[in-house]
């Protein structure tokens, strides 16, 4: 598992976009595919619009190619709580892999 280099934060009332970089986990020429999933612990935050990136993104100051990241929107949560988001995505490798990245989200 990869730990996010940066802890994301939002207020309980905000809806924020979040992106997770899978580049370091992918083999050369491999890309994410399919429908990713996000598990959140403890409960209270909701992830929606979960998708593999379709264009290049800048995540933590690094340019990430299309198909190498998962994006989602997060909402809700209780102030003063740190949430762990476990993001899983399949790849187009043969045989396919299932990769996982963990991000932290502080709700203030």
Question: Taking the domains of the chain in order of start, what are their residue ranges?
Answer: 2-107
Q: For residue 8, what are its two tokens?
A: 């994301």
Fold entry, domain 2-107? Immunoglobulin-like (2.60.40)
pLDDT at 4: 47
Extended strands (E) in the chain: 2-3, 8-10, 15-21, 32-41, 45-52, 57-59, 62-64, 69-76, 81-91, 98-107
Measure the CA–CA gap between 9 and 35, rounded to whole angstroms: 25
Measure the CA–CA gap between 10 and 105, rounded to whole angstroms: 8
Full pLDDT tens readout for the chain, 108 residues: 444 456 789 999 999 999 999 999 999 999 999 999 999 999 999 999 999 999 999 988 889 999 999 999 999 999 999 999 999 999 999 999 999 999 999 999
For residues 17, 22, 28, 34, the Cα torsion angle rounded to the nearest 10 degrees is -70
Would you tell me how many other CB atoms lie within 10 Å of the CB of residue 61?
7
Contact indicator for 11, 79 with CB cutoff of 8 Å = yes
Query: Would the pTM count as exceeding 0.75?
Result: yes
Measure the CA–CA gap between 42 and 6, rounded to whole angstroms: 19
């Amino acid at each position: 598992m990869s730990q996010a280099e940066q802890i994301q934060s939002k207020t309980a009332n905000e809806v924020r976009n979040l992106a997770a970089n899978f580049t370091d986990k992918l083999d050369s020429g491999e890309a994410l595919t399919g429908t990713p999933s996000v598990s959140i612990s403890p409960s209270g935050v909701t992830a929606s619009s979960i998708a593999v990136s379709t264009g290049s993104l800048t995540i933590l100051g690094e340019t990430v190619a299309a198909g190498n990241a998962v994006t989602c929107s997060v909402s809700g949560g209780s102030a003063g709580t740190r949430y762990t988001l476990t993001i899983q995505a399949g790849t187009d490798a043969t045989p396919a892999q299932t990769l996982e990245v963990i991000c932290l989200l502080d709700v203030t």
